[in-house]
Amino acid sequence: MGNRLSKIYTRTGDKGTTGLGDGSRVNKDDARIEAIGDIDELNSLIGLLNCELDEADSLRDQLHEIQQNLFNLGGELSVPGYALIKAEHIEALEQLLDQLNDDLPPLKDFILPGGNRAASVCHLARSVCRRAERRLVTLSRDSDTRPECQSYLNRLSDLLFVCARWLARRDGGQEILWRHRQERGKS
Q: What is the pLDDT of residues 63-114, one digit of tens each?
A: 999 999 999 999 999 997 889 999 999 999 999 999 999 989 999 999 999 9
By the 8 A CB rule, do 69 and 85 touch?
yes
The model's pTM is 0.89
Nearby residues of 59 by Cβ (< 8 Å), 6 or more positions away: 53, 163
Separation between Cα atoms, residue 54 and residue 176, nearest integer Å: 23
Q: Residue 81: its pLDDT value, please?
A: 81
Q: Residue 121: its pLDDT value, please?
A: 97
